[in-house]
Amino acid sequence: MAILKDHLALAETLHADMTGAHRRGEWPIVVDAGFYTVFHGMEAVNATECRDTYSFADAADVLETILVKNGFSEEFASDYRYLFYFRRGAIYGAHVPSDGQVGDYVRRVERCRAAIQSYLGTWTDRLPAGTGKGAAK
Amino acid sequence: MATQNQHDDKSKMFWRLAQDHYEKGTTPFLCMNLIMYTVGHLIEGLLAARGRHPGAPVRGVPHADRGALLRKHLVGEGLLTDADADRYGEMVVLRDTFIDGGTQDRPFIESYMALARPLIDRLQAVAARS
């Protein structure tokens, strides 16, 4: 629950954290930072229409009932579900991912991030100054 | 469901990462999560040894009733105190409101670590005796 620019800034910070952790081989941080890169990117999209999600169930519901209709692809929704359940199993559960699985996870994060950036780019002229595409570094 | 040994291994992994990244000044949001995952796995390791596992809300993550199970079984058996359970509850509340008013900063994560460390020490001691 935050405003657009805060979600964007956190998403970009976490993306950098994921990239660095991937280089260092710290899979728990790759998984956590990667998931939240996408989650906060989605929350940034929600903020453009004055929505907040209070739970992961809310986020999945909004994705499937609103964002996909607004132009996010089924591939995006599938990737998000993959990231969510992967994180649940690896962070909370017993699983330890292989290097190959972590690499695939990162590719899905990048694909989702690109879709979010593309979507937010269409909003640039309707957003408050300094919050549009490229504002968060 | 993870076993006690799997939870113990993960609690050690997350605590090592939490301390390392806390010292390095990594993004406070991530440090907060690493600290919470340490505590979560320590608690769940003790619960797993008793055949108890937290549930998850629909499409959520499995720590919905961890606090209630902690009070019923670990405080109930005298392994932890009400004050320990209250400390865990405070960690959950602070984490759940992480985004209200912005993102976490260094003073926040320092206070969060100060809140968590005594509970982690206590849980590790209980786990070592189990």
Q: What is the pLDDT of residue B122?
A: 98
The answer on pLDDT for A78 being more than 50 is yes
Question: For residue A8, what is the enclosing H or E element?
Answer: helix A4-24
Predicted TM-score of the model (pTM): 0.92
Residue B27: which of A6, A13, A84 has the nearest Cβ?
Answer: A13
CB contact residues (below 8 A), chain B span 75-104, against chain A: 99-103
A70 vs A132, residue with greater confidence: A70
Q: How many Cβ contacts (< 8 angstroms) between chains A and B?
A: 64
CB of A97 within 8 A of CB of A30?
no
The answer on pLDDT for A134 being more than 50 is no
The answer on pLDDT for A53 being more than 90 is no
8 Å CB contact of B57 and A55: yes
Residue B60: which of A36, A55, A93 has the nearest Cβ?
Answer: A55
In angstroms, what separates the C-alpha of A56 from chain B's closest C-alpha?
6
Please tell me which residue of chain A has the smallest CA distance to B58. Answer: A57
Residue B62: which of A26, A55, A92 has the nearest Cβ?
Answer: A92
Q: What is the pLDDT of residue A131?
A: 52
Q: Please report which confidence band the pLDDT of residue A137 belongs to, taking 50, 70 and 90 as the band edges.
A: very low
Q: How wide is the angle at C-alpha B64 spanned by C-alphas B62 and B66, nearest 5°? A: 90
**Percent of chain A at pLDDT exceeding 70:** 88
Residue A77 contacts B where some CB pair is shorter than 8 Å: no
Q: Which residue has the tokens 């739970």?
A: A55
Helices A4-24 and A27-47, interaxial angle, to 10°? 160
Average pLDDT value for residue range A41-67: 93
Select from B3, B4, B9, B10 the residue whose CB has the most chain A CBs within 10 Å, as the one to mutate to test that interface.
B10
Domain membership of residue B90 as a residue range: 4-129
Residues of B in contact with A58 (CB under 8 A): none
8 Å CB contact of B21 and A29: yes
8 Å CB contact of A94 and B27: no
Mean pLDDT per 10-residue section of chain B, whose length is 130 residues = 94 98 96 97 97 90 91 97 97 74 85 98 96
The answer on pLDDT for A130 being more than 90 is no
CATH number of domain containing B10: 1.20.120.330
Q: Is A93 left (phi over 0), alpha (psi -120 to 50) or beta?
A: beta
In angstroms, what separates the C-alpha of A41 from chain B's closest C-alpha?
14
Look at chain B and report how many structural domains it folds into.
1
The answer on pLDDT for A42 being more than 70 is yes
The answer on pLDDT for A123 being more than 70 is no
In angstroms, what separates the C-alpha of A1 from chain B's closest C-alpha?
6
Cα diameter, chain A: 46
The string of pLDDT tens digits covering residues A81-98 is 999 999 999 999 999 999
